[in-house]
Amino acid sequence: MRILNQEIPSAVGQTVTVAGWVHRRRRLAAVSFLVLRDRSGLSQVVVKAPETQAQLDELGEETVVQVTGQVAANPQAPGGAEIVDSVIVPLTEPAQTPPIELWRPTIAAGLPVVLDNAPVALRHPAIRAGWEVAAAALHGFRETIDGFGFTEIQTPKIVGTATESGANVFALDYFGGPAYLAQSPQFYKQTMVGVFERVYEVGPVFRAEPHDTVRHLAEYVSLDAEFGFIQNHRDVLAVLRDVVAGMLAAVGSRAAGALDLLGVKVPEIPTEVPVIHFAEALALAGADPDEPDLSPADERAIGEWALREHGSEFVAVEGYPMVKRPFYTHPQPSDPRWSNSFDLLFRGMELVTGGQRLHRYSDYVAALEARGESPEAPAYGSYLQAFKHGMPPHGGFAIGLERFVARLTGAENVREVTLFPRDLHRLTP
Amino acid sequence: MRILNQEIPSAVGQTVTVAGWVHRRRRLAAVSFLVLRDRSGLSQVVVKAPETQAQLDELGEETVVQVTGQVAANPQAPGGAEIVDSVIVPLTEPAQTPPIELWRPTIAAGLPVVLDNAPVALRHPAIRAGWEVAAAALHGFRETIDGFGFTEIQTPKIVGTATESGANVFALDYFGGPAYLAQSPQFYKQTMVGVFERVYEVGPVFRAEPHDTVRHLAEYVSLDAEFGFIQNHRDVLAVLRDVVAGMLAAVGSRAAGALDLLGVKVPEIPTEVPVIHFAEALALAGADPDEPDLSPADERAIGEWALREHGSEFVAVEGYPMVKRPFYTHPQPSDPRWSNSFDLLFRGMELVTGGQRLHRYSDYVAALEARGESPEAPAYGSYLQAFKHGMPPHGGFAIGLERFVARLTGAENVREVTLFPRDLHRLTP
């Protein structure tokens, strides 16, 4: 019966069997060390028998082995215990030398080499740690939002028309006709508010993003939520705050080892996220009051303001100009130049966009016509059907998983925390 | 403060506010009834004031309203209570008449009409119930497998080469070059066993399925699992059994109302699923011993046998001929004509396929060459890298969500339990 490496320290004096990858071998004069890696971490196996030392010499790093031996206390070993008097049984043929030295704490290879060799590079504890944070965040997202009575949905990724605009959309051959990859589940999640009131979806979204930047991917994981019977976007922000808090808590509890390895502390999100109106944000940043958007420098200034004035690493900017928001955005009732939408900034960078949507059919017709589009267009037919037949005031948000994790872990490039990134230049592995 | 319809019976004597959709209106001589639908179910609102009756006459079915009134006990009302002396406030403009009568318990429209009008048809309690079962099953899947120490992964859906074969794959334009939609996460989930040992993924898979049948979709949700350090496929079957049990338990507890509405009882899966070898299965069904596959009639015969001999609605057939299994399938060690793979049948129909995979690099090279394929081909380069550098004995399975739910609910067509199905003829809504 196999035990995990992390269970070794509590088995001192017993004979145990562990299994995993040969992470590292060190041969000294009289003794060899085998560092074994499994999903729970590392362990140390001490080999003194000459024939086992010779056996180990033949088993290159990454060979999968099973080790049976006696657990002995040793304060110098990981966890304070090691395996001695061991019998090593290979579970596969000897592995070839990995393209990246996985046992070195620091990754010597550059990002392109790491990404080209992802099937093996992801085994490096520090690279793997990024995804451990992502997996924990996914768990926290679902657990929190499920607790709020949201229903999970899974909506199609192949669509008949471009979701929000014709730009940056991937086209495909669908049984001889044209189709597209969904840029977001926006229309579907709104539609499903008519069915379940509160819905969420975790799934891939696709952007034929022609820019090669550290924050854009051609395919990423979107954590979408949408819900009805709200007063305005502030209700959306309140749910988002709780969801982010749940994600952070799950990262702290489920990926503690990964955080240690990465030297990252989970930030605090205040119960009430500070909110600043877009117009005030421009003034605060010293920007032109007619600017329709915030520059990266403006966002940093607002982040600093929130930290200084409210002790918060998070801040929401509400009221973004309607001209910069999609047609389904609900205007600010007191002044329709502004919108009932917001960006949540974390450490001075945009993390999540959310807001209230239009809910009246007549408002959709007017909004589309004002943008020179026809409500009768195939792109809108099924979407508008939901509004024709009664929809409550509603809103929602979308969290980009990879960007969230990159911000949290301080990764400079979103690709560092993506399992197999897709971009302008990268389609494999 | 809004309460849900399901909370009304416990608020007798109080003034409450509810909100939802006008599900049905009935006008009698002295009184009108409003049946209100929200995400928790239906409630009855009694309207006697003539001006409120007149107001209700203007608010067509599916209009979203808020109702404030007094809760009165009434054994005839749903849940034994109803709302009286009510004030109705519309939250949107009056809704247009739905294309399908949502208030009728039985759906009069045929499936094509239902699917064409999915944004509204999904609001019908009996149609919505199918997806409630699906959402509960998803929850049960993740909860169970997470408890076994599996790590969630999210792998790319845009791939550089067809995953398993060139057939039935959707091609797309990827920044001017060719790319494809992933037919399964098979290669990626195996690769990730090298990183996390135990992984799972819930996500869309794409099949350019040219056949128009009641069980095939061009896009469906696949629940994939893969894990290492197994003895053989029986370890995979044991995990699958527990995962299916967890899914069934979650459906029973989280979708109880939906099951009632559909008249469905959750089946029992035995702790040990009966297993029969493919060769015996053929004999049992009276089929030619040289047949490489089971016919639907054979599967029914085996299902009947399992029910008769083992009292089980589930049965696993192991040892499927290698010639009918993908190249990565592990042969049966005692006789390599057969494989260490299985199908799990439910009520005489295939529900899940799983098995042990090859894990030695040299075995992959041999298996590909035996099929006339080059291990150096771009399709296999990154995949085989994982095996070159050490992989444990491993295996896994994939559950098709829509098919699972269709079998469970007795839906004749998998489209009945898919939110927005995609097939040869259907790309919208």
Tens of pLDDT, residue by residue, chain B (429 residues): 899 999 999 999 999 999 999 999 999 988 999 999 999 999 999 999 999 999 999 999 999 999 999 999 999 998 899 999 999 999 999 999 999 999 999 998 999 999 999 999 999 999 999 999 999 999 999 999 999 999 999 999 999 987 555 679 999 999 999 999 999 999 999 999 999 999 999 999 999 988 889 989 999 999 999 999 999 999 999 999 999 999 999 999 999 999 999 999 999 999 999 999 999 999 999 999 999 999 999 999 999 999 999 999 999 999 999 999 999 999 999 999 999 999 999 999 999 999 999 999 999 999 999 999 999 988 898 999 999 999 999 999 999 999 999 999 999 999 999 999 999 999 999
Q: Which residues of A touch B366 (CB under 8 A)?
A: none
CA distance A152 to chain B (A): 6
Does B208 sit within 8 Å of A204, measured CB to CB?
Answer: no
Does B198 sit within 8 Å of A401, measured CB to CB?
Answer: no
Q: Is A423 within 8 Å of chain B by CB?
A: no
* B199 part of a folded domain: yes
Two structure tokens written together for B330:
């592990």
Single-letter amino acid code for the residue at A394? H
Residue B32 and residue B57: Cα distance in Å, rounded? Answer: 9
Say how many C-beta atoms besides its own lie within 10 A of residue A152's C-beta: 20
Q: Which among B152, B156, B427 has CB closest to A420? A: B156
* B130 part of a folded domain: yes
> Rounded mean pLDDT of A159-172?
81
Average pLDDT, chain A: 96
Two structure tokens written together for A424:
């302008």
Total tally of structural domains belonging to chain B: 2
Q: Which among B117, B171, B428 has CB closest to A172? A: B171
* pLDDT tier for residue A164 given thresholds of 50, 70 and 90: low
Cα dihedral B426, B201, B277, B312, rounded to 10, equals: -80
Query: Please, are residues B10 and B25 in contact by the beta-carbon 8 Å criterion?
Result: no
Does A98 sit within 8 Å of B389, measured CB to CB?
Answer: yes
Note which residues in 218-277 of chain A have CB less than 8 A from chain B. Answer: 218-219, 221, 229
Q: Which among B92, B146, B157 has CB closest to A360? A: B92
Mutation for testing the A interface, residue in B122, B152, B154, B330 having most A CBs under 10 Å: B154
* A98 part of a folded domain: no
| A311 conformational bin, left if phi > 0, alpha if psi -120 to 50, beta if neither | left
Half-sphere exposure (Cβ direction) of B86: Cα atoms closer than 13 Å: 32
Chain-centroid distance, C-alpha A164: 23
Does A175 sit within 8 Å of B424, measured CB to CB?
Answer: yes
Q: Is A197 within 8 Å of chain B by CB?
A: yes
Q: Which residue has the tokens 């408002």?
A: A363
DSSP class of B339: B
Single-letter amino acid code for the residue at A57? D
Claim to verify: residue B282 and residue B175 sit in the same structural domain: yes
Does A192 sit within 8 Å of B122, measured CB to CB?
Answer: yes
Q: Is B112 within 8 Å of chain A by CB?
A: no
Domain termination site, one of A90, A110, A130: A90
Claim to verify: residue B56 and residue B151 sit in the same structural domain: no
Nearest CA in chain A to B146: A139
Q: Is B211 within 8 Å of chain A by CB?
A: no
pLDDT of residue A211: 85
Q: Which of A144-153, A363-372, B215-224, B371-380 has the lowest mean pLDDT?
A: B371-380
Does A139 sit within 8 Å of B153, measured CB to CB?
Answer: no
Strands in B30-189 per DSSP E: 32-38, 41-47, 64-73, 81-90, 151-152, 158-159, 171-174, 177-181
Residue A165 pLDDT more than 80?
no
Does A135 sit within 8 Å of B427, measured CB to CB?
Answer: no
Residue A91 and residue B413: Cα distance in Å, rounded? Answer: 45
Nearest CA in chain A to B386: A119
CA distance A42 to chain B (A): 13
CA distance B307 to chain A (A): 34
DSSP class of B266: P
Q: Which residues of A touch B188 (CB under 8 A)?
A: 419-420
Q: Which residues of A touch B362 (CB under 8 A)?
A: 93
Residue B97 and residue A367: Cα distance in Å, rounded? Answer: 23
CA distance A319 to chain B (A): 23
> Rounded mean pLDDT of A220-243?
98
Claim to verify: residue A235 and residue A153 sit in the same structural domain: yes
Claim to verify: residue A268 and residue A335 sit in the same structural domain: yes
> Rounded mean pLDDT of A79-105?
95
Domain termination site, one of A90, A108, A130: A90
Q: Which residues of B touch A63 (CB under 8 A)?
A: 390
Residue B199 and residue B193: Cα distance in Å, rounded? Answer: 6
CA distance A172 to chain B (A): 4
Say how many C-beta atoms besides its own lie within 10 A of residue A27's C-beta: 12
Q: Which among A96, A194, A206 has CB closest to B158? A: A206
- Per cent of chain A over pLDDT 90 is 94
Note which residues in 305-344 of chain B have CB less than 8 A from chain A. Answer: none
Claim to verify: residue A229 and residue A124 sit in the same structural domain: yes
pLDDT of residue A167: 77
Q: Which residues of A touch B161 (CB under 8 A)?
A: 428
> Rounded mean pLDDT of A201-207?
97
* CATH code assigned at A45: 2.40.50.140
Claim to verify: residue B183 and residue B246 sit in the same structural domain: yes
Nearest CA in chain A to B427: A160
What DSSP letter does each residue of B277-327 carry, written as one string? EHHHHHHHHT--TT-SS--HHHHHHHHHHHHHHH--SEEEEE--BGGGS-T
pLDDT of residue B165: 59
CA distance B302 to chain A (A): 33
Report phi then psi at B4, rounded to 5. Answer: -90, 155
Strands in B207-262 per DSSP E: 219-228
Q: Is A369 within 8 Å of chain B by CB?
A: no
Domain termination site, one of B72, B90, B108: B90
pLDDT of residue A135: 98
Q: Which residues of A touch B419 (CB under 8 A)?
A: 153-156, 188, 192
Does B391 sit within 8 Å of A219, measured CB to CB?
Answer: no
Q: Is A21 within 8 Å of chain B by CB?
A: yes
Distances (CA, A) of B80 to B72, B76, B208, B257: 9, 6, 51, 17
* B100 part of a folded domain: no
Nearest CA in chain A to B381: A429
Residue A268 pLDDT more than 90?
yes
* A96 part of a folded domain: no
Domain extent, residue A78, equals 5-90
Q: Which of B374, B410, B397, B403 is nearest to B243 (CA)?
A: B397
Q: Which among B149, B206, B389 has CB closest to A96? A: B389
Q: Is A24 within 8 Å of chain B by CB?
A: no
Claim to verify: residue A191 and residue A318 sit in the same structural domain: yes
Q: Is A162 within 8 Å of chain B by CB?
A: no
* A100 part of a folded domain: no
Q: Is A135 within 8 Å of chain B by CB?
A: yes
Contacts of residue A84, defined as CB under 8 A and 6 or more positions apart, other chains included, come to: A45, A46, A48, A69, A70, A71, A72
Claim to verify: residue B151 and residue B70 sit in the same structural domain: no
Q: Which segments of B are annotated as binding site for ATP?
A: 207-209, 215-217, 350, 400-403
pLDDT of residue A29: 84
* A108 part of a folded domain: no
Cα dihedral A269, A272, A273, A276, rounded to 10, equals: -160
Q: Which of A79, A80, A113, A81 is nearest to A99 (CA)?
A: A113
Q: Is A23 within 8 Å of chain B by CB?
A: no
Rounded to 5 degrees, what angle do the CA atoms B167, B174, A428 make? 75
Residue A123 and residue A143: Cα distance in Å, rounded? Answer: 27
Claim to verify: residue A150 and residue A82 sit in the same structural domain: no
Single-letter amino acid code for the residue at A139? H
Q: Is B79 within 8 Å of chain A by CB?
A: no
Terminal-to-terminal C-alpha distance of chain B:
35
pLDDT of residue B166: 62
Does A427 sit within 8 Å of B177, measured CB to CB?
Answer: yes
Q: Which residues of A touch B155 (CB under 8 A)?
A: 419-420
Number of cross-chain residue pairs from A and B with Cβ atoms under 8 Å apart: 255
Query: Please, are residues A266 and A252 in contact by the beta-carbon 8 Å criterion?
Result: yes
Claim to verify: residue B302 and residue B365 sit in the same structural domain: yes
Q: Which of B106, B100, B105 is nearest to B120 (CA)?
A: B100
Claim to verify: residue B152 and residue B250 sit in the same structural domain: yes
Q: Which among A38, A119, A198 has CB closest to B197? A: A38
Residue A198 and residue A204: Cα distance in Å, rounded? Answer: 20
Q: Which residues of A touch B388 (CB under 8 A)?
A: 95-96
| A23 conformational bin, left if phi > 0, alpha if psi -120 to 50, beta if neither | alpha
Half-sphere exposure (Cβ direction) of B208: Cα atoms closer than 13 Å: 20
Say how many C-beta atoms besides its own lie within 10 A of residue B232's C-beta: 16
Claim to verify: residue A191 and residue A315 sit in the same structural domain: yes
Length, in residues, of chain B: 429
* CATH code assigned at A155: 3.30.930.10
Note which residues in 172-191 of chain A have CB less than 8 A from chain B. Answer: 172-175, 177, 179, 181, 188, 191
* A425 part of a folded domain: no
Does A391 sit within 8 Å of B64, measured CB to CB?
Answer: yes
